[in-house]
């Protein structure tokens, strides 16, 4: 795999409506598109999904851009990388910076699948071309949340995730469940609780939730293990699972029954597949989480979600969920509650070059030395 040059596009687009959690209100999204070009002109695409400020993880758009431009890409361009797996082996000594690494991993995996002339999801080992879709509701009131849910149910979404916190949980979920008695609902806490809130977390069981996602500390596994012993509702770990070792530790301690896999958080498609395989072997359910992505990352999420262990609907909403116009064509679309993985090579979607140019705020071209 001889890489000729790599383009970094910093892009920014406004959301159609704000995405609100107890941690942050996101009204516009900035990210980095990585375009890897080989000696034949074939292109692979990845996306760095960090946010502008470090409210989800310590990485930001700015830190990812620095790592890509000044560290990862220059080293990659100096060497002959034979495969995406060789990339991970070579860059293992560089600590963390998973979202920056994931952007390159995604682009290299896309490129490799295109070189082999097969869809990325098949190259990865996927078995389910049709993937069930879920959606996140992050509104500033119960009334607004209910309106959003009605819209998503009408569009065929099979699962809804509600953002909760100690200040907004019991009453919010009671009102939503009253309106939607049979809907699959999960609660996402983004680490808003502690073990002192055990009574509240136990009380959430009355709403027949699919799971409670990351209720405790962002880097915690031990307290989650204690919590899972005391609540009937399955605990799902998100931010706590950054490495394969984290996943192993969580399973050994009984810290969860479900894991949310995000490609950016764990460092790429290949690390995500390794964790998926571990969970499948140990009977832990997995699903693919979203990061308010643009179309390229969304396409990679779709490919990952075709793997055998992804039995639960992921955050695979239509492109129109967030964007007036996405940067891929055709746009990703949920039909009858499902998203179908494309049969074209690689991610299976074309890049809307005109739209990409319109939303690019900074571009760097890095050539082989």
Residues annotated catalytic, as ranges? 163, 262
Specify the 3-state DSSP secondary structure of 116. Answer: coil
Sheet order of strands, 25-38 included? 43-48, 25-38, 3-20, 360-367
Tell which residue, 109, 91, 160, has the closest CA to residue 263. Answer: 109
The residues with which 288 forms a beta bridge, in sequence order, are: 261
Q: Is residue 211 within 8 Å of 289, Cβ to Cβ?
A: no
CA dihedral 277, 279, 280, 281 (to 10 degrees): 90
* Cα 137–Cα 142–Cα 146 angle in degrees, nearest 5: 60
Distance, CA of 224 to CA of 235 (rounded, Å)? 8
Q: Whose CA is closest to 198, among 218, 216, 178, 211?
A: 216
- Within 157-255, strands assigned E span 159-163, 184-188, 212-213, 235-237
- Whether omega before 330 lies within 30 degrees of 0, making that bond cis, reads yes
């Amino acid at each position: 795999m001889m890489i000729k040059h790599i383009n970094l596009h910093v892009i920014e687009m406004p959301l159609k409506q704000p995405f609100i959690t107890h941690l942050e209100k996101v009204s516009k999204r900035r990210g980095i598109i990585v375009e890897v070009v080989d000696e034949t002109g074939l292109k692979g695409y990845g996306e760095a999904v960090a946010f502008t400020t470090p409210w989800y993880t310590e990485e930001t758009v700015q830190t990812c851009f620095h790592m890509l431009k000044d560290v990862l890409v220059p080293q990659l361009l100096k060497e002959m990388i034979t495969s995406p797996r060789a990339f991970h082996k070579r860059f293992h000594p560089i600590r963390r910076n998973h979202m920056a690494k994931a952007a390159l991993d995604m682009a290299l995996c896309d490129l490799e699948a295109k070189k082999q002339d097969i869809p990325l999801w098949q190259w990865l080992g996927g078995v389910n071309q049709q993937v069930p879709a879920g959606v996140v509701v992050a509104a500033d009131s119960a009334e607004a949340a209910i309106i959003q849910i009605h819209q998503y149910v009408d569009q065929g979404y099979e699962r809804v995730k509600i953002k909760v916190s100690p200040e907004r949980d019991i009453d919010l979920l009671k009102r939503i469940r009253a309106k939607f008695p049979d809907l699959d609902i999960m609660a996402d806490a983004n680490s808003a609780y502690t073990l002192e809130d055990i009574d509240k977390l136990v009380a959430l069981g009355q709403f027949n939730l699919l799971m409670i996602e990351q209720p405790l500390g962002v880097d915690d596994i031990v307290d989650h293990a204690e919590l899972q012993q005391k609540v009937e509702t399955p605990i799902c770990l998100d931010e706590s699972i950054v490495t394969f070792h984290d996943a192993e530790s969580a399973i050994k301690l009984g810290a969860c029954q479900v894991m949310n896999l995000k490609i950016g958080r764990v460092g790429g498609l290949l690390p995500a597949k390794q964790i998926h395989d571990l969970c499948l072997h140990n009977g832990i359910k997995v699903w693919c989480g979203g990061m308010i992505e643009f179309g390229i990352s969304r396409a990679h999420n779709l490919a990952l979600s075709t793997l055998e262990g992804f039995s639960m609907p992921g955050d695979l909403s239509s492109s129109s969920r967030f964007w007036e116009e996405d940067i891929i064509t055709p746009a990703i679309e949920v039909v009858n509650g499902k998203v179908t993985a494309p049969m074209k090579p690689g991610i299976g979607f074309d890049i809307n070059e005109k739209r990409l140019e319109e939303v690019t705020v900074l571009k760097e071209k890095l050539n082989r030395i």
